[in-house]
Amino acid sequence: MGKGGHAAPPEALNFADKRGRQPTSEIPFTIGTLRRAIPPHCFERSVLKSSAYLAVDLVAAALLYWGSTFIDSFPLAARFLLWPAYWFCQGAVCTGVWVVAHECGHQSFSKRQNVNDGVGLVLHTALLVPYYSWKHSHRRHHSNTGSAEKDEVFVPTVKPQADDGDFYRSFAPYRVLELFVCLFAGWPLYLITNMSGRKYPSWANHFDPYSPIYSRRERSEILISDCALGLAFSGLYSLAKTFGWLWLAKVYIAPYLIVNMWLVMITLLQHTHPSLPHYNNQEWEWLRGALSTVDRSYGLLDIVFHHIADTHVCHHLFSTMPHYHAQEASEAIKPILGKYYAKDTRNVWRALWEDWDACHYAAPDTPSSGVFWYHR
């Protein structure tokens, strides 16, 4: 039985023990077939319902902050336990806020674009995310998922054939160091240098309106994101001057790093597995690419994360669907997806450790193939 008591279809491709590969043959169904299998109400967007979920997140974040104001009154030994507990919990709750802002970027928070963009801009800016910059690059990710040439995030290095690879990722201390840098610095490095993204003819980043990531008509919105972030940094500086940098580090910066950790980990594991293919331009099709992702459960955190990870296949197929309908929609399409539905039931930390080593680069089985598989 899966999380929530749902039985996975017997023909589903379960990646728990890394058996098999996702099929790359012609897909025997269409996106229309999948849409018709989903109850129509799952596509309805309610600003009131979306706002209710957001309100719960914001109240939880406020209560956690209020609780943190008492931590320094405890004995030193207790503080060493309570502050990390606050950072973890606040980071998890704010990751949920991040997901709501992500929904705004997909226009699934509300039926009205100005509401989506207004809420998304405020929420993402509060988490030091350039809303419009991310919105446009993330849309291109959804338009090109699984493409080894045009995808925007965690694009593998493609080699013409499999080789012995690099042994150092199997060296545990080195892997720990790489994962630490990836989880805690990967997000700002992606924004600044487009690290792990597709190759562009010139330097690409998420703050330059003239970056090759963006079209001419998007430049003004990139500038809006930059100005909003400037105001956010100015506000944080004022808070630090008033309450002290140590206060800011404990209350805001540490949870912010936890948010970054969850964001990178969730995104990495959604699109990285030895059994998931990538395609060249000749082989790639949108539906093929959209299915080249995997559902994973984070246990109770699935609720806090608004099920962004355990319904990610459905999200890539229907990205404007609100998160509060994604579980029902996922169950409706699993029987149709069959072996094209990918789910990994391993503990996510185990999966991160193993797949970081197993998914170093991608290569075709034969030199003429346009289908690429991960290798270590």
pLDDT in tens, 261-280: 999 999 999 999 999 999 99
CA distance 284 to 271: 15
User: According to the model, what pLDDT value does residue 171 have?
Assistant: 81
User: According to the model, what pLDDT value does residue 53 have?
Assistant: 98
pLDDT at 162 over 90: no
pLDDT at 19 over 80: no
| Least confident window among 6-15, 90-99, 102-111, 170-179 | 6-15
* Amino acid identity for residue 296 in this structure: R
The order of strands in the sheet holding 342-344 is: 13-14, 342-344, 295-296
The residue written with tokens 């999948």 in the block is: 34
φ/ψ region of 8 (left if φ > 0, alpha if ψ in -120 to 50, else beta) reads: beta
Q: In sequence order, which ranges of the chain are alpha helices (DSSP H)?
A: 31-37, 47-68, 76-105, 113-126, 131-143, 172-193, 219-243, 245-248, 254-271, 286-290, 301-304, 312-317, 326-337, 348-358
* Amino acid identity for residue 211 in this structure: S
Top-confidence residue, 162 or 40:
40
142 Cβ contact list (under 8 Å, min separation 6): 106, 290, 316, 319
In this structure, the dihedral spanned by the alpha carbons of residues 2, 294, 89 and 322, taken in order and rounded to 10 degrees, is -90
The residue written with tokens 């931590």 in the block is: 71
Q: Specify the DSSP class assigned to residue 243.
A: H
pLDDT at 8 over 60: no
Helix (H, G, I), strand (E, B) or coil at 165: coil
Give the total residue count for the chain: 376
Quick check: 252 and 240 in contact, CB under 8 A?
A: no
pLDDT in tens, 325-340: 999 999 999 999 999 9
pLDDT in tens, 314-370: 999 999 999 999 999 999 999 999 999 999 999 999 999 999 989 989 999 999 999
The residue written with tokens 């994604």 in the block is: 326
On average, the pLDDT of the chain sits at 93
In this prediction, residue 376 has a pLDDT band, given cuts at 50, 70 and 90, of: confident
CA distance 310 to 327: 8
